[in-house]
Amino acid sequence: MRAFLIAMAIALSGCADHKSTPNYTRTDGAPVDPEKVQAVLAQCKGEAATGAGSSDPGIIPYYGEIAQQRKETTLLDACMARNGYIQAQQ
């Protein structure tokens, strides 16, 4: 039984939510330089983190965190689009 539980834990760990870097493509159709997109992504993540600021959690703190994450995602996507990158369709 113990071996079965260990095997299931290993198998299901592949299903865990991994926060991977989104796959970006150029808006002009040019080939994507992985080093350049990583540099732009790092810059945009910094802008999104500082631009989103800290939101007031309000009555229910969990919803404040969701609003903060959405704001950062929106700012990140806008910055990447400004630099000529959009998320590729999966």
Distances (CA, A) of 22 to 3, 16, 31: 36, 16, 16
- Position 83 scores a pLDDT of 95
Our count of domains for the chain comes to: 1
Q: What are the tens digits of pLDDT across the range 28-64?
A: 989 999 999 999 999 999 998 887 666 555 566 666 7
Count, in order, helices (H) and strands (E) of the chain.
Answer: 3, 2
pLDDT at 11: 59
Note whether residue 14 is domain-resident: no
Side-chain-side CA neighbours of residue 47 (13 Å): 15
> Does pTM top 0.85 for this prediction?
no
- For residue 81, the enclosing domain spans 23-87
Q: Which of 48, 90, 85, 40 is nearest to 70 (CA)?
A: 48
* 39 found inside a domain: yes
